[in-house]
Amino acid sequence: MPGKQLTPTDEFVKGLWRENPVFIQVLGMCPALAVSNTAINALTMGLATTFVLVMSGISVSTLRRFIPREARIVSFICIIATFVTVVDYVIQAVSLELSRALGAFIALIVVNCLILGRAEAFASKNTIGRAVLDALGMGVGFTAALLWIGVLREILGAGTLFGVALFPDGFQTWTVMVLPSGGFLAMALWLLLVNWIRDRQEKSAKAAQGVTR
């Protein structure tokens, strides 16, 4: 008998923190670091990935009985690549500037381990409704994580937030934050924070158990 079925809300919420793709599962780091040098890039990337997650989740879940076991990875990759192509064209149509800023990284969503992982681990084994909730949760969690990194890097590295200057002219920006090293360091800082919080949660959970035993 498989583990207990999560409530629909839980399916959605788990992607936000408990199984956050970037900080807990440590999946999909490439785009997380590459395009998070400004907040708007991070947001666009997060939304694009969420779109692909949801659409491919729906497709995989709808077609799950139709896809034989042996051909499933190839099928998933095809489906994901299709929606990535779609989102690439949509972004170009909406804003040429954003498309240029993100460059090839929109196309790189197709190799984001997160999407293939969710398709394999979840969408192919669950109903459409649950697949959508799971995809949305992971997508929002992913976007939030990207935004965390992007906001930190933009504020420290450029002194702006979504292009709006926050500090008076004299502010000496920490340019390293918008450079690749800054990406690694920003992620390391947030990861440390996340680890610390989880550590405390575990300790308090253990303490509570110890008291009742």
Partner 1 sequence: MSGPAPVQQQPTSAWSMYRAIVGIGAFCALIIVTAYQATADRIRENQDRFLAQASAEVLPAATSTVAVKLAGDGSLALASETGELPAFLGYGPDNRLVGAVIAAQGMGYQDNIRVLYAYSFDQDAIVGFKILDSKETPGLGDRVEKEAHFLANFERLDASLDPAGDALANPIVTVKQGQKTEPWQLDGITGATITSEAIGNILNQSASRWVPALEGSAGRFAERSTPEGR
Partner 2 sequence: MNDASLWSIFLNSALINNFVLAYFLGICPFFGVSSRLETAVRMGGAVSFVMLVASICAYTINWILAAVDAPYLRIISYILVIASTVQLVEMLIRKLSPATFRAMGIYLPLITTNCAILGLALFQTNRNYDFVQSVVYSLGAGAGFALALILMAGVREKLDLANVPALVKGTAAALVVAGILSMSFMGFAGLGR
Which residues contribute to the site for partner 1 (CB under 8 A)? 37, 59, 63, 66-71, 74-75, 78-79, 81-83, 85-86, 89-90, 92-93, 95-96, 100-101, 103, 157-158, 173, 175, 178-179
Residue 45 engages partner 2 in binding (rule: CB under 8 A): no
Minimal distance, residue 136 CB to partner 2, in Å: 22
Select the residue interacting with partner 2 from 9, 195, 201, 204 (CB under 8 A). Answer: 195
Residue 68 binds which entry of partner 2, partner 1, none, CB below 5-8 Å type-dependent: partner 1
3-state SS, residue 160? strand
Residue 8 engages partner 2 in binding (rule: CB under 8 A): no
Residue 179 engages partner 2 in binding (rule: CB under 8 A): yes
Minimal distance, residue 116 CB to partner 1, in Å: 15
Residue 1 engages partner 2 in binding (rule: CB under 8 A): no
Residue 171 engages partner 2 in binding (rule: CB under 8 A): no
66-91: burial string, b at 16+ Cβ within 10 Å, e else: ebeeeebeebbbebbbebbeebbeeb
Q: Which residues contact residue 20 at a Cβ distance below 8 angstroms, ignoring those fewer than 6 apart? A: 141, 142, 144, 145, 194
Residue 155 engages partner 2 in binding (rule: CB under 8 A): no
Angle between helices 113-121 and 128-158 in degrees, nearest 10: 160
Between residues 179 and 191, which has the closer beta carbon with respect to partner 1?
179
- The Cα–Cα gap between 125 and 142 comes to 22
- Name the token pair of 91: 């972004």
Residue 147 engages partner 2 in binding (rule: CB under 8 A): no
Name the β-bridge partners of 160. 165
Are 137 and 15 in contact, with CB atoms under 8 Å apart? yes
- Residue 94's CB: how many other CB atoms inside 10 A? 11
Q: Of 176, 187, 194, 191, nearest to 149 (Cα)? A: 187
User: CB under 8 A: which stretch of 5-13, 29-37, 43-51, 150-158 binds partner 2?
Assistant: 29-37
- The Cα–Cα gap between 206 and 106 comes to 43
Q: Which residue has the tokens 């990759």?
A: 77
- Contact positions vs partner 2 (CB under 8 A): 26-27, 29-31, 33-34, 73-74, 77-78, 81-82, 84-85, 88-89, 103-104, 107-108, 110-113, 116, 176, 179-185, 187-188, 191-192, 195-196, 199
